[in-house]
Amino acid sequence: MRNQSSWRKNILTWGLVFVGLGVGVALLGLVLPRLGISLPEGLILGASVMLLILGFVSLLQYAYVRANPRAGQQMQIKENDERLQWIRARAGQRAYGLSGSLAFAVLIYTTFAGDVGLPALSGNALFFSLLAVVVIPFLAYIGALVYEQNHS
């Protein structure tokens, strides 16, 4: 088991890496259009916001652990608990299977929609179907975590 200071340093390092990557991607999003390279509008913005959020959450966790060492010890113990690792892995397997199935269904529908006479996915329908491929497995992961903690 790692000691408390190296665990805190790891949290700080990852927080700074994610914030740096988020700023870098945001700057890349400003530079690429000036170079004549066009990407979908929300792609760069979404990626930079996601990285910035991950970084700021890690930095907030670091600040909390630094201010409350006892709480940090409890967090480290929970992070290394074998039962919780098993629960997270099992919930992750369920979410991964669901996301693969949803992505496969969207791909199959998109591929065969024109051949069979179904309406093609475009615009908002495409956006919401892809959003469902991301959000539904995340909700399933959370539900599986709650279920496994209550039933194992």
Strand, helix or coil at 152? coil
The pLDDT profile of the chain, 152 residues, written as one tens digit per residue, is 457 788 888 889 999 999 999 999 999 988 888 888 887 767 888 889 999 999 999 999 999 988 888 888 888 877 777 888 888 889 999 999 999 999 999 888 888 887 777 887 777 888 888 888 989 999 999 999 899 888 87
Measured distance CA(105)–CA(114) in Å, rounded: 15
Q: How many domains does the chain have?
A: 2
DSSP track, 84-100: HHHHHHHHHHHHHHHHH
Q: What is the pLDDT of residue 2?
A: 59
Residues 97 and 75 occupy one common structural domain: no
Residues 100 and 122 occupy one common structural domain: yes
Q: What is the pLDDT of residue 107?
A: 87
Paired tokens of 57: 């959450």
Range of the domain at 108: 81-152
Final residue before a domain boundary, out of 35, 54, 80: 80
Residues 57 and 85 occupy one common structural domain: no
Residues 86 and 151 occupy one common structural domain: yes
Measured distance CA(21)–CA(12) in Å, rounded: 14
Measured distance CA(69)–CA(4) in Å, rounded: 8
Q: What is the pLDDT of residue 1?
A: 45
Residues 6 and 20 occupy one common structural domain: yes
Final residue before a domain boundary, out of 56, 80, 104: 80
